[in-house]
Amino acid sequence: MLIRKLEDKSARLSVVGLGYVGLPLAVEFARAGFQVTGLDVVERVVNEINAGRSHVKDVPSDVLAQVVASGHLRATGDFSALQEMDTVNICVPTPLRKTRDPDVSYIVSAVEEIAKHLHPGMLVILESTTYPGTTDELILPLLEATGLAVGTDFFLAFSPERVDPGNPTFNTRNIPKVVGGTTPACTEAALKLYGATLEKLVPVSSTRVAEMVKLLENTFRSVNIGLVNELALMCDSMGINVWEVIDAAATKPFGFMPFYPGPGLGGHCIPIDPFYLSWKAKQVGFEARFIELAGMVNSFMPRHVVEKISRALNERGRAVKGSRVVVLGVAYKANIDDVRESPAIDVLNRLLELGADAAYHDPYVADLAAEGLELQSVPLGDAELDRADAVVILAAHGDLDYDRVLERASLIVDTRNVYRGKTSPKIHRL
C-alpha cells in the first residue's frame, strides 16, 4: 500500500525539524508533487514558513513561497498531525554534551511523539547524524513498544543528511543519498520515497552501515584538517609559509589531496561527528586515539589564532588589552550565515577575556548571541578600518573588499589565506 502511494504521489509526507536539513528536504518533496507537513517546536519557524519566508539560506523565499501557496507544504507545531502521515523524516539536532557524550534527547523526543501516532504502513527515517546502532538500539524499541512489528507493520530506516550549506553545486536533490533499512522491506520503502525526488540513491545493507558512512565522511575531513593544522603550527614555528607548502604539494597528480588549515572547525558535523564515533568505540572497548588527537589539534586552533594576534600586536608595541580588534566573518565558513560551533565565537570570547575592544563584521550575521556573546555586526567603513589595531579574517566571505582592508588596516591576521600571493608587512598568516 505504501509503495503504491509513493509511486502515485498520494502519500502524505512529513519532516520533523525544519532547520538546515529538514526544510530543504521538505521543499524538495513538495516540489516533486507530494503533500508535505513540516513539524517544528519553534513557533516562529512555523509561522515564517507558512508565510513563505525562509530562514535557511539554501532555500530561497520565492521557492518556499511557491510550494506553500500551491498547498504542497505547510508547517505546524501540532504533532497530532502525524496520525495522518504515511512517512516521517526525522531531521533534529544531535549536539554533544559538555562531556562530549552524544545528546540524543532531540531524537528521543521526536520518536516518542511519532510512537503516539504510529500506524500500520508508516515509514520512519532518521536523518540526524548519530552513532552506529542508534536506529536499531534506540528508535526501534520505542516504536515496537506500540505492538507493531518492523518490516511488516511499519518501516524504519536511516539515511544520513549530507547537506553542505552554501554549496552552489551540490544540494539536497543531487547529493547521492545513502539508505539503510532495518529490514530489506524497510530499505525498499525508503528507496521508493527518495527515488521519487532525488537523483541518485546508494542502498547499503543495514542502518548501522548507513550510520557509520556519515561518521566516516566527516571523521576523514576532521583528521586531515587536524593533520594540516598541526603542520601549520609546525611551519609557524619554523618560519615557513604553510600555504605555499600545500600549494606546491597539490601539484602532485597522485597520492595527495590538499586540505587547508584554519582558525578551527565549525558547523554541526565536522567538530561533532568524530566524537560520536570515538564515544561509541569506547562502548565496545576500542580507543579511537587518532580521531581524538585530531580533535585536540583542531580545538586548539582558536587559541593559536589569539596568540598570533597577540604576537602581531606586540611587534607593534601594543598589548591585546585595550586594542581594537575587528574580526571579519563569524560564520563557520565563507558565504553562509551559520555560526554553529564557529571558531569565531571562541576567538572573540578569548579576546574579550584578555581585555581587547573586540568587534566583528559579517554581511551574513547581523547579531551574534552565543556562549555569552551579545554582539552586533559593525559597519566596515574606512573609519572602522583606520582605527582598528588589528583586523582578523576568520571567514573568507566573497563579497568583502579585501583590497580596501589591506589598504586601510594597519595590521591583518589572515587565517584563510585571502591574500594568497601578496606580501606586505601588514599581513600575518596563520
CB 377 within 8 A of CB 398: no
Q: Which residue has the cell 567603513?
A: 381
Residue 281's pLDDT band (boundaries 50, 70, 90)? confident
Q: Is 269 a catalytic site residue?
A: yes
Residue 21's pLDDT band (boundaries 50, 70, 90)? very high
pLDDT on residue 101: 77
Distance, CA of 344 to CA of 217 (rounded, Å):
24
Distance, CA of 415 to CA of 429 (rounded, Å):
6
**Domains identified in the chain and CATH numbers:** 2-205 (3.40.50.720), 224-429 (3.40.50.720)
Q: What is the pTM of this model?
A: 0.90
- State how far Cα 381 lies from the chain centre: 31
pLDDT on residue 103: 87
Tens-place pLDDT, residues 120-158: 999 999 999 899 999 999 999 999 999 999 999 999 999
Non-local CB neighbours of 239 within 8 Å, separated by 6+ positions:
none
Q: Which residue has the cell 555569552?
A: 372
Residue from 266, 304, 271, 220 nearest 395 by CA? 266
Distance, CA of 430 to CA of 236 (rounded, Å):
7
pLDDT on residue 164: 82
Q: Which residue has the cell 538546515?
A: 20
Of all helices (H) and strands (E), which one includes residue 275? helix 273-283
Looking at the predicted structure, is the pLDDT value of residue 359 above 80?
yes
pLDDT on residue 381: 94
Residue 180: other Cβ atoms inside 10 A: 24
Catalytic residue among 91, 186, 235, 269: 269
